[in-house]
Chain A
Amino acid sequence: AQKVTQAQTEISVVEKEDVTLDCVYETRDTTYYLFWYKQPPSGELVFLIRRNSFDEQNEISGRYSWNFQKSTSSFNFTITASQVVDSAVYFCALSEARTGTYKYIFGTGTRLKVLA
């Protein structure tokens, strides 16, 4: 069965610190997608990144980077030099594409607090 685990419920850091949000997933499929979404205090949900199971290349976008490792079933998210605006709840998600449909499983989220 599909499962996404975000073991860190809440993390607090001081501005400019680096922080890594962990995501571990379980799936029996060989074709799947992994995602990160951000939910700032205002409540909306915003797409950050998608990776497919055949692409283990790490990705960097500004201060954000993602490390996908199939060997450990992990898709971790690192924010470098964190800022107060990074304070949000971050959700990791998995979608299997075996049948051509896209059923989503989200993790329980990690609340990141960046203190000035």
Chain B
Amino acid sequence: EAQVTQNPRYLITVTGKKLTVTCSQNMNHEYMSWYRQDPGLGLRQIYYSMNVEVTDKGDVPEGYKVSRKEKRNFPLILESPSPNQTSLYFCASSPPPGGLKLFFGEGSRLTVL
């Protein structure tokens, strides 16, 4: 089944404890991206990647890192999480060209205490 898989789906952590949210797609898509969803703010793009080793900042990249070493994986790294990063996170991928039809993962709900 074609899908975008995120892990973990739910996580409660504490301030400063590094964490990684994994994202994997099995559709051979080149474009992948991360978003956070917050009440009243909609979806905001954190980072996107046009292809392996090519990443760029979205609107809210502060406090996040990404890497794209393989086409199928695009992990989101929070080096030192803070409470304002408590949010619902979505990973998405898209067939070429670029991000013209996003397929989303199921979301990862992160709480930072």
Q: Which residues of A does B touch, CB under 8 Å? A: 6, 33, 35, 37, 43-47, 50, 91, 93, 95, 97, 100-109
Q: Which residues of B does A touch, CB under 8 Å? A: 31, 33, 35, 40-45, 48, 50, 56, 58-59, 90, 92, 94, 98-104, 106-107
Known: A102-B100, A104-B58. A44 touches B106 (CB 8 A): yes
Q: What 3 pairs between A and B have smallest CB-CB spacing?
A: A102-B99, A108-B42, A102-B98
User: Other than the known A104-B43, A104-B45, A109-B43, what 20 A-B pairs have Cβ atoms closer than 8 Å?
Assistant: A33-B100, A43-B107, A44-B107, A45-B92, A45-B104, A46-B104, A47-B101, A91-B42, A95-B100, A100-B50, A101-B50, A102-B48, A102-B98, A103-B48, A103-B59, A104-B33, A104-B58, A104-B99, A105-B45, A106-B43
Q: Please, how many angstroms separate the alpha-carbon atoms of A102 and B19 in the complex?
A: 27
Number of A-B contacts (CB under 8 A): 66
Known: A103-B45, A108-B41. A37 touches B102 (CB 8 A): yes
A109 contacts across to B, CB distance below 8 A = 42-43
Known: A91-B43, A106-B44, A107-B42. A101 touches B106 (CB 8 A): no
A100 contacts across to B, CB distance below 8 A = 50, 98
Q: Are A103 and B58 in contact (CB under 8 A)?
A: yes
B103 contacts across to A, CB distance below 8 A = 47
Nearest chain-B residue to A93 (Cβ)?
A: B43
Q: Please, how many angstroms separate the alpha-carbon atoms of A97 and B44 in the complex?
A: 18
Q: Are A101 and B98 in contact (CB under 8 A)?
A: yes
B101 contacts across to A, CB distance below 8 A = 47, 50
